[in-house]
């Protein structure tokens, strides 16, 4: 430290207190339990934030050394964690009439090619992260594109916003159009350079690198081996990919990898399954796959909106619980049609209901907060109001508009109230979004007037 910086006056530590109905989880709620002891509901309490970190909660108002914001009558939750989402796909969400493989070729690949332009990559990254924040999502595991600059742009935009972000350059060296393919050697150099520059570079860093295999069909065996070698060389790296989303895709993988026991085995035999691996979908897995997943510590990102929209299939969450592997929730925009975690959880409820299961609000909200944080190994930083975690916090209206307000007025007990909120609300109910204790999103007045 130089003499001049050591003489700078000490900036006073910011102390911020938010009052509202605090809701988070202390553990995983049991499936189907609407009276779960894992639910921590503290109505009319103050959430205390010091230097960007949560230091506690209390019923009494803190003294005047605290900057106090009174959100009485509103719901305060940890920021949502989207475990699987594609930053360049905001432009293809809501594209008509295709299943996965056709949808990739008709809509998604043309949109992703544009991210080879640095200006598009920068603008797209900033627009995407601001959209997450405007939906109450403060942390995410993100696919950019094959272009190195698309990952750089995301890391830089997340650093500007202080957000927790896990991402990495997409690996794809076959079965994709010109402008969207890399090769093994260059891809390896790009990954190593991005890891060196962005992966947890300081104790306070909120950025982490994920070895990002698009999916088995778009990587050669040599590229998959390279990806596995990167994971084996550094256990702190994440890995993200897709698996067993759609039946035609599963059949194609069986043709491309005839010696693999299953689609999942293509990844398992290369060393890509580990506790920091996030696999989107996992709908068409057999019992052996589920056993392998559980043993590996990897998690499946359940993407209900996407699975319904693309007609991919119905993920069986209770079967995952029985098998013992972790499940987080995700929007998978643009296969999914909304970044709103409430809308995705509502779709999740419907997917489970189709199989005769009932997903409680606790199961859904836990998976989108503490559950995802634990599955990612980040529960010390995000996902709850535990003291010491960073203050990624969202303030929500319990209800806006006459229908939701009337529904809240007749709700009798806590689960009924929160389930109605999860079902009837969306991003338009977001009142404030904080990242590390700093305000990052507030709706403008016109929007609220329009809404009321
Ligand atoms: Zn996806």
pLDDT-above-90 percentage for the chain:
91
pLDDT at 400 over 60: yes
CA of 16 to the centre of ligand 1 (A): 37
Mean pLDDT confidence for 107-125: 96
Burial class of residue 382 (count of CB atoms within 10 Å of its CB; 0-12, 13-18, 19+): buried
CA of 330 to the centre of ligand 1 (A): 9
Which of 74-83, 167-176, 195-204, 271-280 is least confident? Answer: 195-204
Confidence category of residue 447, pLDDT binned at 50, 70, 90: low
CA of 232 to the centre of ligand 1 (A): 24
Tokens of 262: 């299953």
pLDDT at 133 over 50: yes
pLDDT at 444 over 90: no
CA of 423 to the centre of ligand 1 (A): 24
Residue whose pair of structure tokens reads 């992703």 in the numeric block: 112
Residues 6+ apart with CB under 8 A from 351: 304, 307, 308, 314, 315
Burial class of residue 233 (count of CB atoms within 10 Å of its CB; 0-12, 13-18, 19+): exposed
Q: Are 101 and 248 in contact (CB under 8 A)?
A: yes
CA of 80 to the centre of ligand 1 (A): 18
CA of 91 to the centre of ligand 1 (A): 14
Q: What is d(CA 192, CA 405) in angstroms, rounded to the nearest whole number?
A: 52
Question: Which long-range contacts link 40-46 to residues 24+ away (Cβ below 8 Å)?
Answer: 40/385, 41/414, 44/19, 44/20, 44/72, 45/19, 45/20, 45/21, 46/17, 46/18, 46/19
CA 4 to chain centroid, in Å, comes to: 42
> What is the pLDDT at residue 12?
73
Tokens of 309: 């929209």
CA of 85 to the centre of ligand 1 (A): 6
CA of 79 to the centre of ligand 1 (A): 21
pLDDT at 10 over 80: no
CA of 99 to the centre of ligand 1 (A): 13
Residues 6+ apart with CB under 8 A from 419: 360, 361
> What is the pLDDT at residue 452?
35
pLDDT at 5 over 50: no
Burial class of residue 339 (count of CB atoms within 10 Å of its CB; 0-12, 13-18, 19+): buried
pLDDT tens for residues 274-314? 999 999 999 999 999 999 999 999 999 999 999 999 999 99
pLDDT at 6 over 80: no
CA of 279 to the centre of ligand 1 (A): 9
CA of 102 to the centre of ligand 1 (A): 14
Residue 131 φ/ψ, nearest 5 degrees: -65, -40
pLDDT-above-70 percentage for the chain:
96
> What is the pLDDT at residue 285?
98
Q: What is d(CA 121, CA 125) in angstroms, rounded to the nearest whole number?
A: 6
Identify the three-state secondary structure at position 275: coil
> What is the pLDDT at residue 211?
98
pLDDT at 114 over 50: yes
CA of 280 to the centre of ligand 1 (A): 6
pLDDT tens for residues 330-381? 999 999 999 999 999 999 999 999 999 999 999 999 999 999 999 999 999 9
pLDDT at 449 over 50: no
pLDDT at 47 over 90: yes
Confidence category of residue 203, pLDDT binned at 50, 70, 90: confident
Q: Which strands sit side by side in the sheet containing 53-58, from one edge to the other?
A: 53-58, 39-50, 15-25, 67-78, 393-397, 430-435, 438-441
Tokens of 307: 């699975």
> What is the pLDDT at residue 292?
98
> What is the pLDDT at residue 97?
84
pLDDT tens for residues 235-258? 999 999 999 999 999 999 999 999
Q: What is d(CA 85, CA 141) in angstroms, rounded to the nearest whole number?
A: 7
pLDDT at 1 over 90: no
CA of 281 to the centre of ligand 1 (A): 8
pLDDT tens for residues 174-190? 999 999 999 999 999 99
The average confidence (pLDDT) of the chain is: 95
Confidence category of residue 446, pLDDT binned at 50, 70, 90: low
Q: What is d(CA 88, CA 248) in angstroms, rounded to the nearest whole number?
A: 24
Residue whose pair of structure tokens reads 């419907």 in the numeric block: 350
Mean pLDDT confidence for 146-161: 98
Among 396, 385, 285, residue whose Cα is nearest residue 42: 385
CA of 242 to the centre of ligand 1 (A): 6
Greater confidence (43 vs 93) lies with 43
Q: What is d(CA 259, CA 414) in angstroms, rounded to the nearest whole number?
A: 52
**Per-residue DSSP letter, 428:** G
The DSSP string of 345-392 is: HHHHHHHHHHTT----HHHHHHHTTHHHHHHTT-TTTSSS--TTSB--
Residues 6+ apart with CB under 8 A from 157: 122, 125, 126, 128, 129
CA of 240 to the centre of ligand 1 (A): 10
CA of 332 to the centre of ligand 1 (A): 5
> What is the pLDDT at residue 96?
86
> What is the pLDDT at residue 77?
98
pTM of the model: 0.95
pLDDT at 8 over 70: no
Task: For strands 207-213 and 164-167, give the pairing.
Answer: parallel
CA of 132 to the centre of ligand 1 (A): 16
CA of 404 to the centre of ligand 1 (A): 31
pLDDT at 7 over 90: no
CA of 328 to the centre of ligand 1 (A): 14
């Amino acid at each position: 430290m130089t003499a001049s910086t050591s003489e700078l006056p000490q900036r006073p530590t910011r102390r911020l207190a938010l009052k509202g109905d605090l809701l988070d989880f202390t553990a995983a709620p049991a499936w189907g339990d609407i009276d779960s002891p894992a639910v921590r509901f503290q109505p009319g309490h103050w959430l205390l934030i010091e230097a960007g970190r949560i230091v506690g909660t209390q019923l009494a108002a803190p003294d005047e050394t605290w900057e106090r914001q009174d959100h009485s009558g509103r719901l305060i939750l940890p920021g949502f964690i989207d475990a699987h989402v594609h930053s360049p796909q905001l432009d293809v969400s809501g594209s008509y009439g295709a299943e996965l493989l056709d949808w990739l070729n008709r809509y998604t690949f043309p949109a992703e090619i544009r991210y080879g332009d640095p200006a598009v990559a920068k603008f797209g990254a900033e627009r995407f992260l601001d959209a997450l924040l405007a939906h109450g999502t403060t942390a995410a595991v993100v696919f950019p594109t094959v272009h190195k600059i698309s990952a750089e742009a995301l890391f830089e935009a997340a650093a500007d916003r202080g957000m927790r972000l896990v991402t990495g350059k997409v690996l794809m060296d076959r079965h994709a159009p010109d402008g969207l393919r890399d090769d093994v050697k260059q891809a390896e150099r790009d990954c190593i350079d991005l890891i060196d520059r962005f992966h947890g570079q300081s104790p306070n860093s909120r950025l982490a690198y994920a070895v990002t295999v698009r999916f088995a069909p778009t990587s050669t065996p040599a590229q998959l081996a390279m990806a596995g070698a990167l994971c084996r060389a550094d256990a702190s790296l994440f890995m993200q990919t897709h698996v067993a989303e759609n039946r035609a895709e599963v059949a194609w993988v069986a043709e491309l990898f005839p010696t693999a026991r299953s689609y999942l085995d293509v990844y398992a035999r290369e060393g890509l399954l580990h506790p920091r691996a996030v696999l989107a979908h996992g709908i068409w897995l057999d019992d052996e796959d589920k056993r392998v997943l559980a043993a590996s510590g990897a998690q499946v990102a359940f993407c209900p909106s996407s699975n319904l929209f693309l007609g991919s299939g119905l993920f069986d969450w209770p079967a995952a619980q029985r098998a013992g592997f972790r499940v987080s929730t995700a929007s998978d925009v643009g296969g999914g049609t909304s970044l709103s975690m409430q809308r995705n959880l509502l779709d999740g409820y419907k997917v489970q209901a189709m199989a005769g299961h009932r997903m409680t609000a606790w199961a859904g909200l836990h998976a989108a907060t503490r559950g995802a944080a634990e599955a990612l190994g980040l529960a010390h930083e995000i996902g709850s109001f535990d003291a010491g975690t960073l203050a990624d916090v969202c303030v929500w209206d319990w209800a806006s508009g006459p229908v939701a307000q009337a529904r809240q007025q007749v709700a009798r007990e806590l689960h009924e109230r929160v389930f109605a909120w999860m079902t009837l609300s969306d991003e338009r109910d977001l009142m404030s979004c904080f990242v590390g204790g700093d305000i990052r999103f507030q709706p403008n007045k016109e929007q609220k007037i329009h809404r009321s």
